């Protein structure tokens, strides 16, 4: 039984996304049409499921988001949205972690977990709305004191809505202005307000961009990297993160070449490389 379960889980891990018919262009890959195979993965016989290219082999993992010039994304399946304060009942359209509203609380929330210091730019929602009522969309933060007790303060960061009777829709809610994530004092979430039974949330996807911390007022290496140095902010970011302690005597030695040994310290510290013995 355990071996069979592991086989099913492995099969599911290498599959492309299942979508409702007509919801999106067909992804690259081979469509699975065998009803028995679909049923073994929890899908109905009419579900649109594709086997990803290279499935069954040791495909390379997707690249991580690096750097400060390009944006990264994190997705939230529809069934990760939970009732705000009371009972919430939902159905599913195709069993692809979508949520079709049935009854109960009309407000549902999903946590948005982004790296501290990142700039939250927007969240895109994939929806289905075939009624006259719109689906309301909201982005929030809730903050508390960093260590002491206190009341929480909520701030609406963005809002939008579907267009009633528009069917499948993709709606972007912009965080205006873009917000720097502070996981020390705040939490962040996306909220959906259903307007009628049958409204569907397929998924949401939050977009963010990494940032370099602002320059401090006082230099860590005042001898050769003062506050006026062109690389001051970048050197200070490395020092604050523990990647470097300089070259001794209050200096950073910015013009000295880096040895392979020093490079290994920078990279291992930056990536947090840790392997068990």
Question: pLDDT by residue (tens digit) across 128-154?
Answer: 999 999 999 999 999 999 999 988 889
Q: What is the DSSP letter of 260?
A: H
78 and 181 together in one domain: yes
Residue 160 has pLDDT above 80, yes or no: yes
Taking residues 77-83, report their average pLDDT: 96
Based on the fold, state whether residues 13 and 137 are members of the same structural domain.
Answer: no
pLDDT tens digits for range 189-222:
999 999 999 999 999 999 999 999 999 999 999 9
**Domain with 85 in it: what CATH number?**
2.60.120.260
Would you say residue 69 has pLDDT above 50? yes
- Is residue 277 domain-resident? yes
Q: Has residue 57 been placed in a domain?
A: no
Which residue did the predictor score with more confidence, 20 or 170? 170
Range with lowest mean pLDDT among 37-46, 104-113, 164-173: 37-46
The terminus-to-terminus CA distance of the chain in angstroms comes to: 33
| Residue 76, both tokens | 């939230």
Among candidate residues 106, 59, 63, the one with its CA nearest the CA of residue 82:
106
Please indicate, yes or no, whether residues 272 and 218 belong to a single structural domain of this protein: yes
- And the tokens for 128? 């289905």
188 and 227 in a common domain: no
Contact 182, 169 (CB under 8 A): no
**Phi-psi domain of 104 (left: phi exceeds 0; alpha: psi -120 through 50; beta: other):** left
Confidence of residue 7 (pLDDT cuts 50, 70, 90): very low
């Amino acid at each position: 039984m355990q071996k069979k379960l592991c086989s099913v889980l492995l099969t599911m891990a290498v599959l492309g996304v299942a979508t409702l018919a007509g919801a999106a262009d067909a992804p690259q890959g081979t469509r699975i049409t065998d009803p028995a195979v679909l049923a073994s993965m929890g899908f109905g016989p009419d579900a649109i499921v594709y086997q990803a290219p290279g499935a069954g082999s040791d495909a390379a993992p997707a690249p991580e988001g690096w750097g400060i010039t390009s944006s990264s994304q994190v997705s939230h399946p529809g069934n990760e949205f939970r009732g705000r304060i009371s009972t919430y009942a939902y159905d599913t359209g195709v069993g692809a972690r979508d949520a079709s509203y049935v009854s109960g609380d009309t407000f549902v929330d999903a946590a948005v977990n982004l790296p501290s210091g990142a700039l939250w730019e927007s969240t895109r929602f994939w929806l289905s709305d075939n009624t006259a009522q719109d689906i309301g969309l909201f982005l929030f933060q809730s903050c508390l004191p960093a260590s002491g007790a206190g009341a929480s303060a909520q701030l609406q960061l963005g809002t939008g809505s579907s267009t009633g009777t528009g069917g499948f829709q993709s709606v972007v809610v912009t965080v205006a202005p873009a917000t720097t994530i502070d996981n020390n004092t705040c939490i962040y979430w996306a909220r959906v307000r259903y307007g009628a039974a049958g409204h569907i949330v397929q998924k949401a996807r939050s977009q963010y961009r990494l940032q370099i911390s602002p320059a401090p007022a006082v230099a860590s290496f005042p001898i050769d990297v003062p506050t006026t140095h062109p690389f001051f902010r970048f050197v200070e970011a490395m020092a604050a993160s523990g990647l470097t302690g300089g070259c001794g005597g209050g200096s950073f030695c910015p013009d000295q070449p880096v040895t392979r040994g020093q490079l290994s310290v920078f990279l291992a510290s930056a990536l947090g490389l840790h392997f068990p013995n």
